[in-house]
Structure 1
Amino acid sequence: MERAEGWDFEAELWEYKGKGAWHFVTLPPEVGFAIRCASEGRRPGWGMVAVTAEIGDVDFQTSVFPDKASESYLLPVKAAVRKAARVKAGDMLKVRIVLQR
């Protein structure tokens, strides 16, 4: 089976220190720029983009959210995904992102 066109990168998983203990991966700026260009006209007003993400051998559907601080996007990584992929905050992850159609 052929893999869908997407973006592969490595980035650190980090924990937001506010309420809820959310975990995120910040997409590299060049990946964020490519996603912004590829999703032009398909984003709702506040810029989220529906994606399928892969961390290790775990695939999941989510949305990436624009982040002004990094001038890129944030990928939220839920507890169930972290558990299945056996990852924790501070780990460097190999990530694949594909836009949902």
Structure 2
Amino acid sequence: MIVETAGVLFRRDARRDDWYFVPLTREASDDIREVPRPERGFGSIPVLVSVGSSSWRTSIFPDAARGVYVLPLKRSVREREGISEGDTVRARLDVLDG
């Protein structure tokens, strides 16, 4: 399943580090939820992601507060693509089966 989405990059404080995430749209999240798949830790779903010229494999996670999945955006990608907190990020996700 290929999903194209856009969201505003936000920072979540953790105990030791800051984590940056892009929320998927409600529509994209609903489409992803509809496909049955095996349970994984923290409700994660493996994806291949493209943002700008960067591509990598990661997982998306459900965010109960927002009611959507969120995509973690690592520092190397943010720096390479010139993305900062509050920027709108367009991403293409190839949602994997497992």
Work out the CA distance in 2 between the residues paired with 1:61 and 1:82: 15
Question: What's the CA shift string for 1:49-69, capped at 9, x where partnerless?
Answer: 000111111111100011111
C-alpha contact (below 8 Å) 1:29/1:70 kept by paired residues:
no
TM-score, scaled relative to structure 2: 0.87
Matches within 5 A, 1:62-77: 62-77=58-73
Work out the CA distance in 1 between the residues paired with 2:39 and 2:29: 14
Moved more, 82-91 or 12-21: 12-21
C-alpha contact (below 8 Å) 2:52/2:81 kept by paired residues:
yes
Work out the CA distance in 2 between the residues paired with 1:99 and 1:42: 13
Which protein is richer in strand relative to its size? 2
SS of aligned partner of 1:46: helix
C-alpha contact (below 8 Å) 2:25/2:68 kept by paired residues:
yes
Work out the CA distance in 2 between the residues paired with 1:45 and 1:94: 26
Q: CA deviation at 1:46?
A: 3.3
Give the 4+ runs in structure 1 shifted more than 2 A: none
Unpaired runs of 5+ residues, structure 1, are none
Taking every aligned residue pair, what percent have the same amino acid on both sides? 28
Matches within 5 A, 1:1-101: 5-19=1-15, 20-38=17-35, 40-44=36-40, 46-101=42-97
The count of aligned residue pairs is 96
Question: What's the CA shift string for 1:16-49, capped at 9, x where partnerless?
Answer: 13431110001111111111122x1233253110
TM-score, scaled relative to structure 1: 0.85
Unpaired runs of 5+ residues, structure 2, are none
SS of aligned partner of 1:16: strand
C-alpha contact (below 8 Å) 2:9/2:89 kept by paired residues:
yes
